[in-house]
Amino acid sequence: MKTTFTNAIGSHKEGATQAKTPLLTIGLLTDAHYTDIPNRGDIAHRAALHRVSEAAETFQQVGADFAVQLGDIIDQTPESSVEDQQRELRRIYSEFARFRGETHSVPGNHCLKVLYEAEFEQALGNPIGYRSFDKAGFHFVFLNACYRRDGTPYGRRCNEWFDADIPQHEREWLQADLQNTSGHVVIFTHQRLDAPQGDLFGVHSAEATRDIIEQSGKVIAVFQGHQHCNLLETRNGVSYATLHAVAHDFETNAFSLLNLYEGGAVRLIGFGRHSDHPLGACPTANSEG
């Protein structure tokens, strides 16, 4: 099975996919880091409102089948309360909801810095825990790596951004879930599953999780955020694509349209900083399954 990647609008690198209509189009964005404060460091916090709105309106205009935000849609200050975080979450998500279709989220470390998972879900009205569903012959998996190495779930400032893990019970669920599907699989998560052991942006159990993913022979791509830059790793036929943050640039937005085709071909169309994604420099990545 050949998986074809490109991200340049109007590019003809992908050959056969140009002649086909995608089975699905998915809107992708990550790391909006919205909180109602001025720019801090190199993060444009308030700009997230109009940037997420722009992305959502683009997803709406093209008729995306659903949209996914890959975590850290909110940020916080040392003074942020539970009520503050839920209010800001509802505010930024009202911009994401300009896309009037189905929306999905995975939790990031900032999403659950103050809030517990249930409190985030209460404000959002949607689940953020690990789960999966099928659509148009594809199987979509959403992972939650917002656990400390010792298994403690994030919330109430008990976590550090570099201490992330997918616990054993979630890995066992993932293995069973992949065994029970026959479709091409796309995985969404926040922290990086492809980072080397000990990398601060990675997941402690990344190697064990990758073993499950790669041995299944069904996963074509994993989409991630967290590191705020565009990266691509291909391991044992699975492409791990890290996407640039919405907020990590004072001038430029960052979001994508992911087109999925019959046979498992993939085309990533990048906007703003996503237009520089190295997927465009890697037009063919092979996966057996």
Q: Give yes or no for a contact between 264 and 282, defined as CB atoms under 8 angstroms apart.
A: no
Tokens of 27: 């809107």
Evaluate if pTM is beyond 0.85. yes
What's the rounded mean pLDDT across residues 207-220? 97
Give the tens place of pLDDT for each residue, 220-239.
999 999 999 999 999 999 99
> Residue 135 — pLDDT band, cuts 50, 70, 90?
very high
Backbone angle region of 273, left / alpha / beta, with phi > 0 → left and psi within -120 to 50 → alpha: alpha
Give the tens place of pLDDT for each residue, 56-88.
999 999 999 999 999 999 999 999 999 999 999
Question: How far is residue 207's CA from residue 167's CA, in Å, rounded to a whole number?
Answer: 12
Give the alpha-carbon dihedral of 253, 165, 83, 120, to 10 degrees: 80
Task: Please tell me the predicted confidence (pLDDT) of residue 20.
Answer: 82
**Looking at domain 2-14+22-281, which of 3.40.50.11900, 3.10.450.40, 3.60.21.10, 1.10.10.10 is its CATH number?**
3.60.21.10
Q: Is the pLDDT of residue 288 over 90?
A: no
Task: Give one DSSP letter per residue of 108-151, joined into a string.
Answer: -TTTTSSS-HHHHHHHHSS--SSEEEEETTEEEEE---BB-TTS
Question: How far is residue 206's CA from residue 192's CA, in Å, rounded to a whole number?
Answer: 8
Question: How far is residue 277's CA from residue 84's CA, in Å, rounded to a whole number?
Answer: 34
Give the tens place of pLDDT for each residue, 4-37.
333 333 232 344 445 489 999 999 999 999 999 9
**CB neighbours of residue 107 within 10 Å:** 28
Instruction: Give me the residue spans of the domains in the chain.
Output: 2-14+22-281
